[in-house]
Amino acid sequence: MVDLFGNYLCQKLIEKCNEQQRDNMLAKLANHFPHISCDRQGTRAVQKIVGATTTHQQREVFMSSISRESDLLRLMRDSNGSHVIHAVLDKFPLSMVTPIFNLAYKTCYKLAVHQHGLCVLKKCMTLAKPKDFMNLSEKVLLKVLQLVNDQYGNYLIQHIIDRSIINKQNSTQGDHKESDTNGDAIKLLHSRLKSHYCGLSRQKFSSNVVEKCLRVGSTDWQADIIEELMDRRNTSGTSVRQLLEDSYGNYVMQNALNVAAPSQASALVGLIKPQLNALRKSIRKKWERLIVQKMKFIAGEPLPSTTAPPKQQHSWNNQGKQRNNYQRGGRNRQNQGQNRRNANKKNSNGNAVNYIQQVYPDPYNSTVPGTMQPLHDAMIRSQPAQIITPSQFHPSSQMHPNMQGSMMTHYPQATTYVQQIGYPQPGQVFLDPHMSSHVTPSY
């Protein structure tokens, strides 16, 4: 199962075997599933076993083999084993994957800051019931200020926001008993992040969370965040200037201006305008354009189209292509002339020297689309070598006097001397059938 090719055979056996054979297979492999699941090839066979299980007994045997906490945590954090956990969560009923949910709750901080453990934890939150989701969210949000600044933990906080909104929408549409607990994770998150939004906006990973809150949050939540970012108590506008000059806070302020209500947007623009002269020219131009668009939107004026006009093809581009093609053709003609001069060379005994002619691709034509040029080269390189005698390539008047009246009789390949000029390339191979058999070629 861990072999590069043998795992494909095992997968086919798992598909074709009957229930009794599958039971025997699970019984023999029960003690080896954690090790096989962490193997690059073995994980595919184990996922096939998970998908092929049909009876309750088979699933119980598999879950009992990986339910030990040390093995289960290893699978959750492994690049290959995590795929097996995902397959189990997708295939098995929720009542049978309780050990996975319990361990995810117990080790949520270790999983939240791990690349593969994060994916498993998000999967558990997605499949959990609203009450279980809320319990897990409450524990995660106890360390929200540490997680939002983590390269993986910030994605978990964003996932909690998304799932809270979805659970709240489902509770309003359906008739759920735990509807009063849905959506409380957002309120808890806001209470934990309050008075920290300015500092988080200037951090690389936490700024993504602040932008997420501004994009999908409620109107009241957006207003509270924007009010904190403006910091009206500071009359000098230092807080706004720091956000505008920061590489991450700049994007947070753009989102804040985009979602701000008309009254709050006017106040935000009044704080931004005095700080524009301190910004770089490119950033200042961008903010001036954003402010104008926002004010037009508030006034109800139509916004200009942002679609860029199609680029015009200038004539000088085509002239440049034709000039390059002409240059390529000149080089190609020079190479062909060199090949003809080499064909007229003779060895010390007066016999023509055979060689492998270098044939270069034809010059590109400006009328051929750019996507066809690589195909054009590939076709030329794939042409088989053609055996052509010098009598077919040169007129008899250009041949050696001893060769002009001779019969064109092919000698065996073993007595033919081939000299390579440069690197051999696909093209035409020229063989001289007139070289005397008693002549010893000089290497």
**pLDDT tens readout for residues 363-397:** 444 344 444 445 545 554 555 544 444 444 444 44
- Choice between 348 and 97, residue whose per-residue pLDDT is larger: 97
CB 210 within 8 A of CB 248: no
Q: Is 346 helix (H, G, I), strand (E, B) or coil?
A: strand
Q: pLDDT grade, residue 303 (50/70/90)?
A: low
Q: pLDDT grade, residue 337 (50/70/90)?
A: low
Paired tokens of 339: 């090949």
Look at residue 41 and tell me whether its pLDDT is greater than 90.
yes
* Interval 11-33 mean pLDDT: 91
Q: pLDDT grade, residue 336 (50/70/90)?
A: low
Buried b (16+ CB within 10 A) or exposed e, 83-103: bbbbbbbebbeeeebeebbeb
Q: pLDDT grade, residue 343 (50/70/90)?
A: low
What letter represents residue 39's amino acid?
D
352 DSSP β-pair partners: 346
CB 184 within 8 A of CB 130: no
Q: Provide the pLDDT for residue 281.
A: 87
CB 355 within 8 A of CB 420: yes
Q: How does strand 428-430 pair with strand 386-388?
A: parallel
Which tens digits make up the pLDDT trace of 210-262? Answer: 999 999 999 999 999 999 999 877 777 788 999 999 999 999 999 999 999 99
Q: Provide the pLDDT for residue 389.
A: 43
CB 118 within 8 A of CB 152: yes
Q: Provide the pLDDT for residue 234.
A: 75
Q: Provide the pLDDT for residue 326.
A: 47
Cα–Cα dist 82/90, whole Å: 12
Q: pLDDT grade, residue 324 (50/70/90)?
A: low
| Mean pLDDT over the full length of the chain | 77
Look at residue 408 and tell me whether its pLDDT is greater than 90.
no
* Interval 264-285 mean pLDDT: 89
What letter represents residue 376's amino acid?
H
Backbone angles phi, psi at 377, to 5 degrees: -65, -45
Angle (CA) 156-122-192 rounded to 5° is 30
- Choice between 274 and 347, residue whose per-residue pLDDT is larger: 274
pTM over cut 0.75: no
Cα–Cα dist 187/193, whole Å: 10
Look at residue 94 and tell me whether its pLDDT is greater than 70.
yes
Look at residue 124 and tell me whether its pLDDT is greater than 50.
yes
Which of 34-38, 276-280, 297-301 is predicted with the least confidence, judged by mean pLDDT?
A: 297-301
Q: Provide the pLDDT for residue 354.
A: 47
Which tens digits make up the pLDDT trace of 140-196? Answer: 999 999 999 999 999 999 999 999 999 888 887 765 555 444 458 999 999 999 999
Which of 2-6, 60-64, 297-301 is predicted with the least confidence, judged by mean pLDDT?
A: 297-301
Q: Provide the pLDDT for residue 104.
A: 95
- Choice between 368 and 312, residue whose per-residue pLDDT is larger: 312
Which of 31-35, 284-288, 434-438 is predicted with the least confidence, judged by mean pLDDT?
A: 434-438
Q: pLDDT grade, residue 299 (50/70/90)?
A: confident
* Interval 317-344 mean pLDDT: 55
Look at residue 103 and tell me whether its pLDDT is greater than 70.
yes
- Helical H runs in 30-80? 33-37, 42-52, 56-66, 69-77
Of 79, 206, 200, 207, the residue nearest 150 (C-alpha): 206
